[in-house]
Amino acid sequence: MSLRRLMLVAILVSLSASSVGAPADVSAAMSELMTRLQLQHAKLWFAGKLSNWSLATYELRQIETNLETASRVLPDPSRANRAKEQLQAVGQALQSKDAAAFAKSYADLTNECNGCHRSTGYAWIAIQIPVTSPAPNQLFADQVAEGRALVRSTCGMCHVVADAAKEPSTFRPPAPAFAEIVSRPSYSADGLRLFLTSSHRRLGPDHAMPNPRLSEYQIEAIVAYLETLRADSSR
């Protein structure tokens, strides 16, 4: 938990426990929490819609944390408890990677948010399933999963993608395994980008490699996947 969040929790707990509080301060803290929850609600939708289950689970955990903080100062904490029940249903859908169940539980969660607003005098604040991305600079698709699928379909004929024991290449002898490539001192993400954008037909006197003709976003997905392989190998 960040220092800022810890401080916010401490302030809210102190305000709710005190018999003489500052309503304006409580209102400002709740407004900040609700704004944060609204953003996370939208990000959860796009992550789940694009089957980025890891990101969706992360956003769900953020919502749970902020909702728990908000429940400390809500006039009727039972409303937060009902929202928590809906969050559990969303979590189950994410765990099972069930897109239809996610869409249904997310809609139920959204309805519960609006029910809470109406019951607390904020009926004019209505939340909907988002139609545009709340963060244009964030990629909500699972880039690593897309990169893994690309290297399996594009490169797997020659290269061993992950486990040499489980994934023998079609050709003998095989091209270098990706685990070997990312462990080389000469490997870098920028070097890989440059290599994938070049023709790279000639790698040596006896080796040739066809140009896979990848688009920019495909190259970035492959780079993301290989970077995770490198991170895993260094642990």
pLDDT in tens, the chain (235 residues): 555 555 555 555 554 544 444 456 667 878 888 899 999 999 999 999 999 999 999 999 999 999 888 877 776 677 778 888 999 999 999 999 999 999 999 999 999 999 988 888 889 999 999 999 999 999 999 999 998 888 888 777 777 676 544 555 455 456 778 888 888 888 899 988 888 887 655 555 555 566 677 888 899 999 999 999 888 877 6
Q: What is the pLDDT of residue 196?
A: 83
Closest CA to 73 of 138, 22, 134: 22
CATH number of the CATH domain containing 47? 1.20.120.290
Q: Is residue 169 part of a domain?
A: yes
CATH number of the CATH domain containing 226? 1.10.760.10
Is 74 in the same domain as 109?
yes
Distances (CA, A) of 71 to 17, 78, 207, 219, 224: 13, 8, 64, 44, 38
Q: What is the pLDDT of residue 27?
A: 77
Q: In angstroms, rounded to a whole number, what is the distance separating the alpha carbons of residues 89 and 93?
A: 6
Sign of the CA dihedral 9, 10, 16, 22? negative
Q: Which residues make beta-bridge pairs with 175?
A: 159
Q: In angstroms, rounded to a whole number, what is the distance separating the alpha carbons of residues 144 and 94?
A: 18
Is 70 in the same domain as 168?
no
Q: Is residue 96 part of a domain?
A: yes
Q: Which residues make beta-bridge pairs with 208?
A: 202
Q: Is residue 130 part of a domain?
A: no
Q: What is the pLDDT of residue 214?
A: 84
Q: What is the pLDDT of residue 200?
A: 59
Is 161 in the same domain as 62?
no
Q: In angstroms, rounded to a whole number, what is the distance separating the alpha carbons of residues 174 and 191?
A: 22
Is 164 in the same domain as 75?
no
Is 26 in the same domain as 72?
yes
Residue 125: DSSP 8-state: -
Q: What is the pLDDT of residue 98?
A: 97
Is 177 in the same domain as 99?
no
Is 151 in the same domain as 219?
yes
Q: Is residue 129 part of a domain?
A: no
Q: What is the pLDDT of residue 164?
A: 46
Q: Cβ neighbours of residue 138 under 8 Å, at least 6 residues apart?
A: 43
Residue-number span of the structural domain to which 172 is assigned: 143-233
Distances (CA, A) of 8 to 15, 26, 57: 11, 11, 23
The number of domains in the chain is: 2
Q: Is residue 138 part of a domain?
A: no
